[in-house]
Structure 1
Amino acid sequence: MAKQLHDKSTRGKSLSSEEQSLLEQWYAFQDDAETQTLAKSYDETRITILQTQVNTAFIQLMTVTKRIQEMMAENETLKGEIIQLHNQLVQQTTLSLAK
C-alpha cells in the first residue's frame, strides 16, 4: 500500500492526512533500512584495498602512457630518416638515369 501512496503522491495527487502519515512512516522505514545496509557495507579494509588497486592501475597507466609517448617520438625520428633515405634514393636514381 505504501508504494501505491508513494506513486499517488509523486503524480501530484492529494493524500488524506492518514495516507500522508502512512507514507511518511514508510519513508522513515526505507531510510532506516538504507542506512543499515550502508553501514553494513562500509568496510575500511576493503576501501583501502580498492584505493591501492586504483593507485597501482594509475601508475601502470602512467608508465604505459610514457612509453607510448617515447615510441611516438621514435616513430617521428624514423619517419624523418625514411624521408631522407627516400630523397637520397630519388637523387641517386635521377643521377643514374641522367648518365
Structure 2
Amino acid sequence: AYDGGYDDMKAFTNMKKLKTVVFKTTQKRDNISFRNCKKLKKVVLAEGTEKIIDKQFYGCKNLTIINIPKSVKIIEKNAFKGCPKLKL
C-alpha cells in the first residue's frame, strides 16, 4: 500500500505494467497521479473520495472502467484527458 510521499504527483506516473487500481479507503492526499499508465484499464475509487484532480489519469489510453462514487464533488479539468476508451 502506498501512503504518500514527497512528490505524489509522480508517484505512479509512467508505470508500464499497472492494469488495475483499487482504493480501499479514501485518498488521504488529493494529488496522487497515474499519468501515462498506458496499460491501466480499471480504477475503483472508495466511497468518501471527494475529488479527482487535474490530469490525475491523463494519458491512460486503455482506461475503460472507473466508478465515480456519489461522494465525488469535484472532477477537475483534464482529469481524464487522453483516455479515449473511457465513457463517462
TM-score by length of 2: 0.17
Larger strand share, 1 or 2: 2
Larger helix share, 1 or 2: 1
